[in-house]
Amino acid sequence: MRQKVASPDARIARVAARQYGVVSQAQLRAAGLSASAITRRVRRGQLHRIHRGVYAVGHTALPHRGRWLAAALTCGEGAAVSHRSAAELWGLLRPVEGPIDISIPGSAGRAPRERIRLHRRAALRPDAVTRRYGIPVTKPAQTISDLRGCVSEKELRRAIRQASMLGLPLGPEVDHDPTRSDLEGMFLRLCRKHGLPMPEVKVRIGPHEVDFLWGEANLVVETDGYKYHRGRQAFEDDRARDLDLHSRGYDVLHFSYRQVRNESERVAAVVRAALASR
């Protein structure tokens, strides 16, 4: 029995289903459509031109992923979603309406595209680009680097925090996560530098082991790295732990790795005030 060959429209539909409703002109030609056949389908409303050489199949109500992919497809080989649009694709910032950020390798060529913010990147390395949901996009570390200067400080902090919550690698400058011994040593050096009484280290209080304890003042300090305090369950566990320590008569202070490293004077002042009040 002769096997039935799929029609061009059926082949196009399968491609569009994988690509959030969009196809490139090259994919239409590969499916068997001539230039005139493409034109006829555009006139009949079966295809809708989104960008030069990129079409939506059946309708123009594209999801965000379809819009991101369409923008990358029209910019050609090596193009990748970047900057704020990449942060939206990774789930670091909420999608907003407006031009889509696309980075392309090289410093010349490729005319500007409507509804696309084009970034010509002579130094964009192939290892800075990956695929997410089948869409070429800059990796998280490159995305965070690109965000500096193009979003507010508040949005940048939100993006970094969300990336950390999702466990995305951000590179040594952003997401260095110290070991517990690193944090312990840094905090003890902070205490010595600022003339604070030295605490006990790794003390058990009931079922809990706390990082630092000033027993006479019933004061506990916890130093928190992302790795050990990331995610909803870790958040809930920390809150339950703090509540139990409070019920036992202890005050609990939390300091992040970056606060201990970069804001030692402020951290020392808070600890000193807490010790004085107790």
Q: pLDDT (tens digit, 9 = 90+) per residue, 223-249? A: 876 444 454 545 566 788 899 999 999
The 3-state secondary structure of the chain reads: CCCCCCCHHHHHHHHHHHCCCEEEHHHHHHCCCCHHHHHHHHHHCCEEEEECCEEEECCCCCCHHHHHHHHHHHCCCCCEECHHHHHHHCCCCCCCCCCEEEEEECCCCCCCCCCEEEEEECCCCHHHEEEECCEEEECHHHHHHHHCCCCCHHHHHHHHHHHHHHCCCCCHHHHCCCCHHHHHHHHHHHHHHCCCCCCEEEEEECCEEEEEEEHHHCEEEEEECHHHCCCHHHHHHHHHHHHHHHHCCCEEEEEEHHHHHHCHHHHHHHHHHHHHHC
pLDDT, tens digit, for every residue of 79-92?
999 999 999 999 99
Q: Is the pLDDT of residue 2 over 80?
A: no
15-36 pLDDT, tens digit each: 999 999 999 999 999 999 999 9
CATH of 180-277, one of 3.30.930.10, 3.40.50.720, 3.40.960.10, 3.40.1110.10: 3.40.960.10
Q: Is the pLDDT confidence value at 178 over 80?
A: no
Residue-level pLDDT at 153: 83
Tell me: pLDDT of 169 over 70: yes
The predicted structure's pLDDT at residue 229? 45
- Tell me, yes or no, if the pTM score tops 0.75: no
For residue 260, pLDDT beyond 80 = yes
Note the pLDDT of residue 168.
Answer: 85
For the chain, what is the mean pLDDT? Answer: 87
Domain(s) of CATH 3.40.960.10: residues in the chain: 180-277
pLDDT at 165: 75
